[in-house]
Chains A and B, each alone.
Chain A
Amino acid sequence: MIGVWLALWELTTAKTGWLPKPFFSPPTGLLHVYVTEWRRLLICIGYSLRLWAYGFGLGAVVGYVGGVALGWSKRFAYWGMPILKLIGPVPATAWIPCTFYFFPTTFDASVFIVALASGIPVTILTASGVAGVDRVYYDVGRNLGAKSWYLITRIAIPASASHTFVGLFMGLYYSFAVLVVAEMLGAKYGLGWYIQFQSNYSGYANVYATIVIMALLCAGIVKLLFVTRDRLLGWQKGFI
């Protein structure tokens, strides 16, 4: 199947030229990029992954803690929910102008943008998951002598875990989307920066080559998250 696609691709670009040269590139062109540019691409992958890991990690942790608090505590939700509803729908990239003012380096600003993009869906879904836990589980817990800490950590959190994972998946896609934009904020390396740099010089083969790498990276991380979820939520097998 992949062979057929590659043949078709090669045919339309290199052989017949239906898709004109500078804007489209044959697979061999991409291969050429990988062979000649692999050193620089590896560094870019490293930089992108570092930014992504900081941003997504921070966003997921802060979003998760905030989500549990919002879902659990009525008082916290009273003050927190309006803020979340206000900033939730705003695209993370819209904050770029202010971030320059608030953060000392562009790297910090980029981390913030990525963290915001991934943190908000995690917060919203965790909060709704925790708030939606069947009250009867809390009744059982209280009846067995459980205090708040046990009710939160052993009942609310596992009961809402499938919601949290939906939030993490959404956050993952958003974080990749803003990663490219964030890396255009005067970064020196990174896949987003590389795409920007190469398209300025009409290096479209390099752009495509980078897009393929990003797609594979994203798919790999999604796969990793699926494996984690299936391992943690094995108890749900009969439900979903």
Chain B
Amino acid sequence: MAAQAQALRAAPTGAGGSVAIVLRSVSYAFDLHGEPLPVLDSIDLSVAAGEFVALLGPSGCGKSTLLRLVAGLDRPSAGSMTGDGEEIVSPDPSRILVFQDPTLFPWMTVWGNVAAGLDARGVLAHHRGRVDETIALVDLTAFERAYPHQLSGGMAQRAALARALVNDPALMLLDEPLGKLDSLTRLTLQAELLSLWRKKGFTAILVTHDVEEALQLASRVVVLSERPAHVKAEFKVSRPYPRHRDDPALVALRRQVFATLGLET
């Protein structure tokens, strides 16, 4: 497994490694029937290279919008965003967004989906082996000829992770990727996500509703306010991995996070 990860990192298709992200007073407003609806209000956020940051916040506060901005799919109304000092102006395979729904292309097999990024950039012919390796990394080799509708929710989300990872992203933007899975699959995938992050060393920004999940995975938890969102509080989570739910330090932290979100436990 380690050798495989090494081989993946060494392949010259993506940037690989990790990237430092800096957001300076980023604001965003939706256009709602001609009226601007402010969603993000002057967000300041720095994510160090290789860091795993979880974003928590009330429903509809603009967390997903923030990820779309960092991915380069939308442009902020104001403020600046940089990755390793370079302005983010357009989508790039080194910064990949993974959605809550797997959003696999239903007309392609698992193999075709995972290969899509390399194919779209015209480098697939030289890197077919990478596709196989990445599918093996998420344990889907037996299903590589299957179509998305034949997969379970967990398998589909693992395929979506593979489709992102094959490009060797320096930044993974995870928009509640485990949000629709049943609780057991969720726990399994949390562990897998963690091991992928530790193995490959990318920077990760995870949007989630699940405080427990944030505390299990992230090295820092950022709490956003109601819409229009700004950064309300930050919590450093310095417990070693693998973490345990009943770790007293985490339990205390969880209480603090809930209090910030306006919920007493």
Contacts of A136 in B (CB 8 A): 99, 101, 103
When distances are taken between beta carbons in the complex, the residues of chain B under 8 Å from A234 are 147
Interface residues on A, range: 20 to 34
Contact of B121 among A139, A140, A145, A237 (CB under 8 A): A145
CB 8 Å contact bits of B162-189 with A (1 = contact, 0 = none):
0100010000000000000000000000
Q: Are B73 and A137 in contact (CB under 8 A)?
A: no
Does A98 reach chain B (CB closer than 8 Å)?
Answer: no
- Pairwise interchain contact B73-A139, C-beta atoms closer than 8 A: yes
Min CB gap B191→A, angstroms: 25
Q: Which residues of B contact A145 (CB under 8 A)?
A: 91-93, 117, 120-121, 167
A144 touches B93 (CB 8 A): yes
Q: A136 CA to B108 CA in the complex, in Å? A: 16
- Shortest A149–chain B CB gap in Å is 9
The proximity string for A residues 209-240 relative to B, scoring 1 for CB distances below 8 Å and 0 otherwise, is: 00000000000000000000000011111110
- Across chains A and B, the number of contacting residue pairs, with CB separation under 8 Å, is 75
Looking at chain A's contact residues, is the secondary structure mostly helix, strand, loop, or mixed? helix
**Closest CB of chain A to B74's CB: distance in Å?**
9
The A135-157 residues at the B interface (CB cut-off 8 A) are 136-137, 139-147, 150, 154-155
- Asked whether, in the complex, the Cβ of A238 is within 8 Å of the Cβ of B150, the reply is yes
The reply to whether B103 and A159 form a contact with Cβ atoms under 8 Å apart is no
Chain A residues in 8 Å Cβ range of B105: 137, 140, 154-155, 158-159
Closest CB-CB distance, B101 to chain A, in whole Å?
8
Q: Which among B91, B93, B149 is the interface contact of A239 at CB below 8 angstroms?
A: B149
Residue pair A144, B149 in contact (C-beta under 8 Å): no
Instruction: Tell whether, in the assembled complex, residue B106 and residue A235 are in contact, meaning their CB atoms are under 8 Å apart.
Output: yes
**Whole-angstrom distance between the alpha carbons of A238 and B148 in the complex?**
9
- Greatest chain A CB density within 10 A among B105, B116, B120 is at B120
Task: Assess the A144–B73 pair: CB atoms within 8 A.
Answer: no
Given contacts A154-B120, A238-B149, A238-B150, contact A143 B106 (CB under 8 A): no
A interface footprint on B115-134 (CB within 8 Å = 1, 0 otherwise):
01101110000000000000
Nearest-neighbour CB distance to chain A for B60, whole angstroms, equals: 18
Report chain A residues within 8 Å CB of B117.
144-145
B71 within 8 Å of A (CB atoms) = yes
* B96, CB-defined interface residue at 8 Å: yes
B107 touches A147 (CB 8 A): no
Instruction: Say how far A159's CB is from chain B's closest CB, in angstroms.
Output: 7
Chain A min CB distance to B146 (Å) = 10
Which of A159, A234, A238, A239 has the largest number of chain B CB atoms within 10 A? Answer: A238
Which chain A positions have C-beta within 8 A of B103? 136-137, 140
Restricting to B73-120, which residues have a CB under 8 Å from any CB of A? 73, 91-93, 95-97, 99, 101, 103, 105-108, 116-117, 119-120
Q: Which residues of A contact B73 (CB under 8 A)?
A: 139, 142-143
Q: Are B149 and A143 in contact (CB under 8 A)?
A: no
Identify 30 residue pairs between A and B in the complex whose beta-carbon atoms are under 8 Å apart, listed by A's number.
Answer: A136-B101, A141-B120, A142-B73, A142-B91, A143-B92, A144-B116, A144-B121, A144-B163, A144-B167, A145-B91, A145-B120, A146-B121, A147-B120, A150-B120, A154-B105, A154-B120, A155-B105, A158-B105, A158-B107, A159-B105, A233-B107, A235-B106, A235-B107, A235-B108, A235-B148, A235-B149, A236-B106, A237-B147, A238-B147, A239-B106
B residues engaging A (CB < 8 A)?
A: 68, 71-73, 91-93, 95-97, 99, 101, 103, 105-108, 116-117, 119-121, 147-150, 163, 167
**A residues within 8 Å of B by Cβ?**
136-137, 139-147, 150, 154-155, 158-159, 161, 233-239
